């Protein structure tokens, strides 16, 4: 659900999705499944922190989530209203919310608000470096590279990001499993091992 994606985008900072899921389950148990953004916004920061405890850094994340929820409140939590805002303006506004960085903003835009923006994460950086020997560190540099290579197609961007994450988790882990990797014949890093 887009509402859960929005909450998850904040909770996933510095933790894994399993812990985020447990935190979201706590929220759903306490607040029900409907109108969860509005109900979460009405909670005190302390209560919110208690519910999202499994996600770690819960006091900080509760503050960040409250800030994001306050932003959404200005749109009456109406995601369709948010979707009607031009992408660049919406991204700029999201980035002005305290605690919302570029990866968080772009995850919300791509997965909850149907905006074709490319999400850059540590997996993307790792794969670019190993597969193509492209060593870009700047978030926007990498985002612009992908967005200049691919047309702004929502389904394509969602699938591409999903595949990068899956590949990096399955094969291109910290100590890469090149022997099992289907991309090894086309990979710069693997070619250097021969």
Q: Which residues bind ligand SF4 (CB under 6 A)?
A: 130-131, 171-172, 176-178, 181, 183-184, 187, 189-190
Residue 78 CA to residue 19 CA, distance in Å, equals 27
**How far apart are CB 144 and ligand SF4 at their closest, in Å?**
22
Nearer to ligand SF4, 46 or 179 (CB): 179
Residue 104 CA to residue 168 CA, distance in Å, equals 19
Q: What is the dihedral of CA 11, 12, 16, 22, to 10 degrees?
A: 30
Nearer to ligand SF4, 79 or 190 (CB): 190
Nearer to ligand SF4, 31 or 134 (CB): 134
| Helices and strands (H and E) in the chain: how many | 12, 0
Residue 18 CA to residue 82 CA, distance in Å, equals 28
**How far apart are CB 99 and ligand SF4 at their closest, in Å?**
32
Nearer to ligand SF4, 29 or 177 (CB): 177
- Return the percent helix, strand and coil in the chain, to nearest 5: 70, 0, 30
- DSSP conformational letter for 180: G
**How far apart are CB 169 and ligand SF4 at their closest, in Å?**
11
E-strand ranges in 77-168 read none
**How far apart are CB 184 and ligand SF4 at their closest, in Å?**
4
Nearer to ligand SF4, 104 or 184 (CB): 184
**How far apart are CB 93 and ligand SF4 at their closest, in Å?**
36
């Amino acid at each position: 659900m887009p509402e859960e994606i929005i909450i998850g985008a904040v909770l996933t900072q510095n933790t894994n999705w399993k812990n985020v899921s447990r935190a979201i389950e706590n929220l759903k148990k306490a607040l029900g499944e409907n109108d969860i953004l509005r109900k979460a916004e009405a909670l005190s920061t302390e209560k919110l922190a208690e519910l999202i405890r499994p996600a770690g850094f819960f006091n900080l994340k509760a503050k960040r989530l409250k800030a994001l929820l306050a932003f959404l409140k200005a749109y009456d939590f109406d995601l369709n209203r948010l979707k009607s805002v031009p992408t660049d303006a919406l991204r700029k506004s999201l980035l002005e919310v305290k605690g919302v960085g570029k990866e968080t903003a772009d995850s919300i835009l791509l997965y909850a608000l149907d905006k074709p923006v490319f999400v850059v994460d540590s997996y993307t950086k790792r794969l670019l470096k190993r597969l193509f020997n492209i060593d870009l560190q700047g978030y926007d540099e990498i985002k612009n590279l992908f967005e200049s290579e691919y047309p702004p197609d929502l389904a394509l961007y969602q699938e591409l990001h999903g595949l990068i994450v899956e590949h990096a988790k399955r094969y291109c882990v910290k100590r890469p499993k090149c022997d099992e990797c289907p991309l090894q014949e086309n990979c710069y890093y693997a070619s250097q091992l021969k």
